[in-house]
Structure 1
Amino acid sequence: MKDLKRLWPHIIPKRRKQFAAILVLMVFASFAEVVSIGAVLPFLGVLTVPEQLFEHRLAQPLIKFLQLTEPKQLLLPFTILFSIAALASGAMRIVLLWAQTRLSHATGADFSINIYRRTLYQPYSVHVARNSSSVIAGIAGKANAVVGSTILPILMIISSGLMLVTILIALLAIDPFVALSAFGGFGAIYAVVITMTRHRMKSYSQTISREQNMVIKALQEGLGGIRDVLIDGTQTAYCNSYRKADLSLRRARSNVSIISMIPRYGIEALGMILIAVLAYTLAERESGIAGAIPVLGALALGAQRLLPVLQQGYSSFSSMRGGRAELKDALDLLEQSLPAYADKPFPEPIPFNSHIRLKNLSFRYTNDMPLVLQQIDLTITKGSRVGFIGTTGSGKSTLLDLIMALLYSTKGCLMIDDVEITEKNHREWQAHISHVPQAIFLADTTIAENIAFGILTEEVDHERVRKAARQAHMADTIESWEMQYETMVGERGVRLSGGQRQRIGIARALYKQADVIVFDEATSALDNETETAVMRAVDNISKDITVLIVAHRVTTLKSCDNIIELTHGEISRSGTYQGIIGNIDKLDSKREAI
């Protein structure tokens, strides 16, 4: 119940109105069930003792309307009425099933979209800390599981509850002893099964949630590193990892399904015995077998309705218990907070006319971790080229993440001109920035769409795409291809070389028309010739654009105005390329002399 209360606020107003309409439809469907069960009494009465029904006061209006003169003439109209009642009941149940299923899946789509949206808006520090497999499983699987294990079962339980109440009322009106005996016997069986399987269902629920994450993880790792998998021949290891998770997941789901279906077959057998016992009891009454037939007919029809409804309710309840852990995981993702800017249009950039300044800046990822950067004081003039070097783990990429306001300093601050960048105005600063990482993400779409990344296809400015490609020294290559800017790049850009992918990344940054471009080890994986070509493209970028480059090799930074070297999270030295190279050469000479 606690989890359902958490779920309700995430259901949009439109869906709540539709749920209310479903409840009304359930009432009508339940009423149709009562009518169909009630209609069997006069129908069977006409078949067995038509004289009694012909003389009954409630039948007189129909007899007069149809101008009937003898009892046997009642058979045709009551057959038609019974058939209409049965058809109406069936039609209402079909409509109810359609409406329940459509609404459940529409609600599931709302949840999935909401989880994806909230996830995308989470701070960079959250994305760094979490496992992407669990997020993907939550979006792709667990949001859908909420439909099958929570939303649809709830609707089924409510529907089954209303049906049970109305069927019980109808049977009570016919014969209280028969109704209470049948309902009590069937209900007791389900109660025993629920009690016996409670702990197992909880365990299966946790297994399903855990192994679903592991299945996604195995797929991501195996397919994401397919080159290494093929070269190293590690297919067996990844298949074993996937098999272990998938078998455990499917075994748990099958056990939930088995437990959900177990009572049905036992009750079908016991139901036949119960009806036989009741038939014997009724036949011993004064009215004899003739009086028992209509009651037994109504009971048989009621049981035929009652048993599937009971099973549906129990199966839905079992599904809810089996999917409880997945529901909790989905709720955790649904309850991710959205930043204040999430529902606002993209802001106007803050003024950037002079410099970027880091004032006594220090940073650690969590309180229990050591400082990654400490007491960084640095001023970057607008339009300058600044390079960052240092060994792995020296803090280069973290420093760029702070400059891009993806992370926030533990101490000190980031200033743009005279404005401090905080969580409230970081989007205004990020409007100035484009990022070119080492591994350029390319979607399996056209060159033009990859350059204008994140822009709807119909909104792509193709002239701007061509201009960005020319600036990135990629236009001649693209225009030599048959499809030119409509060329498909393949998944993750597999049809392009490393240098081409990097220049597409530069063109993407230029398409954004940013005035700060950050290259985070964007050429470290390239050979010398390709790196030279890419850096030539960087050198030709407008001098009004501020360029920040992280590199392992100092030679990559020949065109930089200033080079900053980081050591253990601190600025150990800075200077021009010639100054840094000279110091390195002198240091090497001293080492050789020693």
Structure 2
Amino acid sequence: MQEHQSFVRLLRRLWRHIAPRRRLQLGVLFFLMLLASFAEVVSIGAVVPFLGGLTNPEQIFRQPRLQPLISALNLTEPGQLLLPLTVAFGCAALFSGAARLLLLWAETRLSHAIGADFSISIYRRTLYQPYAVHLSRNSSEIIAGISSKANGLVNGTILPILAIISSVLMMLMIVMALVAIDPLVPFVVLLGFGSIYVLIVLATKKRLAQSSRSISREQGRVIKVVQEGLSGIRDVLIEGAQNTYCRTYLAADLPYRRAVANVQIISTSPRYVIEALGMALVAALAYGLASRPGGIATAIPVLGAMVLGAQRLLPVMQMVYSSLAHINSGRAPLEDTLELLDQPLPAYASAPPPEPIAFRRSIDLDRLSYRYKEDGQLVLKEMSLTIGKGARIGFIGKTGSGKSTLLDILMGLLSPSDGRMSVDGVAITEENQRAWQINIAHVPQAIFLSDSTIAENIAFGVPLEQIDHQRVRQAAQRAQIAEAIESWDEQYQTMVGERGIRLSGGQRQRIGIARALYRQANVIVFDEATSALDNDTEQAVMKAIDALGEELTILIVAHRLTTLKNCTQIIELGEGGVKQTGSYADVIGPLLR
């Protein structure tokens, strides 16, 4: 009972994420379920007069309920009934088949449409999560949630629930039709077969729960292994680590597929037992009905209706059981998917782009502290710092001194644990950090390039039809890469390859600078942006940086100290705070002697 209540709570959480338009479509689907159920009753009811017309047309001809039809068709002999009864039965069968086909189409399309809604919702909510949340996550788990588990939600929860509802409605209608023909027989059939399915559900429930947890766990592991192996393919090839990754993949993939196989076996195997018992039951019914007064002639129409009803009833019962098995096996993926669907969205997610916070004077840090975890050590301790507009600031310090953390706070990616950051006196908070980030452009050490054109990568995040190509060229010129791009055959439509593999390191960095300039940001942050380059390429990239307008505020963290020689101020970090500040000659000069 407790597990049932827990599952109901999960379904309520799921229902909150279904859009109003989809709820309306579910209402239309319920009407189609009723229509298909009614069609089943019509097809079963039509078989009795049809078989009666074949075996005993005189008795059917004398039925009072058929007299209006006989008069309307101007029939004078019992034999004339056979054609209209055949046509009626054929039409009823076609109507039933068309209704079930329409219901299958509607159920499947709507289920996958809802699954698509969930998938994009997970992706959107994930992208809007704070940077601190992303730092604490494994991306493979998110990829599994967006791709595999969202699909599993469709096949393991939504489709089975819809199938159960439609099957139960159909089962009730079929039983009602059979009861109208013979009250005792359908009750015995339903009770007997239903008891068998209930026993099987109880016997397999624990095994399905174990398989559910295994499927949810191993899906993420499989994606993690594939992602890591392909992302580090250079190291894998150099180290000859292919077999290691293959063994790790197999250790995750094999349990996953075994769990899926268990679910499939458990959900389909009872069908064959029930079908065998059904054949035996039909034989027993035939014997019992033939023993009644009137013999086999009167028994055939009833027996035909019972056989047709059983032929429709058994697959429906199997569908209910199979759907319950899939729901039990999809419990863990459902819980994981709901955790992703329940991720909160920031207030600005559905709002129009805010007006940028004006930056005319300075960025001020006032006794700012930061720790990554509530019980963790402070990375920055009561730091106070002022950065004037138009300054070129170089940050140095040992590994772990807090350089990258400080830049993340300056870019509004992390919020201070204590103290505050303000721009021209306006405190930057979670509510207005998006308005501050409009002023920021970031050039990291590893420039992310999508497998698209040069123009799309410079105007990163801008829809293709909205790209300002004149602005793209101007940004490329200021980043001193326009000459190289315009010497290529496709120029700005040149494909860069996956992660920019067709470009040199210096070209990738300059495209990163051009991207920052396309944003027309007031502050550009270079975080180890040249550390992976050789000396000549680094000098060329730094020349491009030095040529940027004086109105830009530039913050640089560099691996090579000589990279910072044109900075107006050098800030050395250490022990969670500012150790010293000064000119390049005052701070770095002694370090180079």
Q: Shorter-normalised TM-score: what interval? A: over 0.9
Partner of 1:214: 221
- Residue 49 (structure 1) aligned to one of 50, 56, 76: 56
Q: Aligned runs of 1:48-447 on 2, under 5 Å?
A: 48-447=55-454
* Distance in 2 of aligned mates of 1:447 and 1:233: 34
Deviations 1:403-451 (A, max 9, x none): 1111011111101011111111111111100001110000000000000
Tell me which amino acid in the other structure corresponds to 1:53. I
Deviations 1:468-490 (A, max 9, x none): 00100111111111111110000
Contact 1:361–1:413 (CA under 8 A) maintained in structure 2: yes
SS of residue paired to 2:269: helix
SS of residue paired to 1:253: helix
Partner of 1:548: 555
Per-residue deviation at 1:585? 4.5
Contact 1:391–1:552 (CA under 8 A) maintained in structure 2: no
SS of residue paired to 1:342: helix
1:509 aligns with 2:497: no
Contact 1:118–1:338 (CA under 8 A) maintained in structure 2: yes
SS of residue paired to 2:455: helix
Contact 1:564–1:574 (CA under 8 A) maintained in structure 2: yes
1:469 aligns with 2:476: yes
Deviations 1:384-420 (A, max 9, x none): 1000011111110000001111101111110101111
Per-residue deviation at 1:71? 1.0
Tell me which amino acid in the other structure corresponds to 1:448. A
Tell me which amino acid in the other structure corresponds to 1:113. I
CA RMSD of aligned residues (A): 0.9
* Distance in 2 of aligned mates of 1:62 and 1:374: 94
SS of residue paired to 1:192: helix
* Distance in 1 of aligned mates of 2:325 and 2:38: 27
TM-score (norm 1): 0.98
Per-residue deviation at 1:279? 1.4
* Distance in 1 of aligned mates of 2:519 and 2:108: 44
Tell me which amino acid in the other structure corresponds to 1:24. F
Deviations 1:70-111 (A, max 9, x none): 111111110110000000000000001001111011110000
Tell me which amino acid in the other structure corresponds to 2:84. P
1:9 aligns with 2:20: no
1:500 aligns with 2:494: no
Per-residue deviation at 1:287? 2.4
Contact 1:473–1:503 (CA under 8 A) maintained in structure 2: yes
SS of residue paired to 2:197: helix
SS of residue paired to 1:341: helix
* Distance in 2 of aligned mates of 1:9 and 1:287: 59
SS of residue paired to 1:379: strand
* Distance in 1 of aligned mates of 2:401 and 2:457: 32
Tell me which amino acid in the other structure corresponds to 1:472. A
Contact 1:519–1:549 (CA under 8 A) maintained in structure 2: yes
* Distance in 2 of aligned mates of 1:233 and 1:445: 31
SS of residue paired to 2:520: coil
SS of residue paired to 1:172: helix
Deviations 1:220-244 (A, max 9, x none): 1000111111111111111111111
Q: Residues 150, 477 of structure 1: CA spacing in aligned structure 2 closer, same or farther, 3 A cutoff?
A: same
Deviations 1:33-58 (A, max 9, x none): 00100011111111111111111111
Partner of 2:47: 40
SS of residue paired to 1:376: strand
* Distance in 2 of aligned mates of 1:529 and 1:135: 40
SS of residue paired to 1:237: helix
SS of residue paired to 2:559: coil
Contact 1:389–1:553 (CA under 8 A) maintained in structure 2: no
Deviations 1:452-511 (A, max 9, x none): 000011110001000000100111111111111110000000001111100000000000
Deviations 1:244-299 (A, max 9, x none): 11111111011101000011000010000111112112222222222211111001
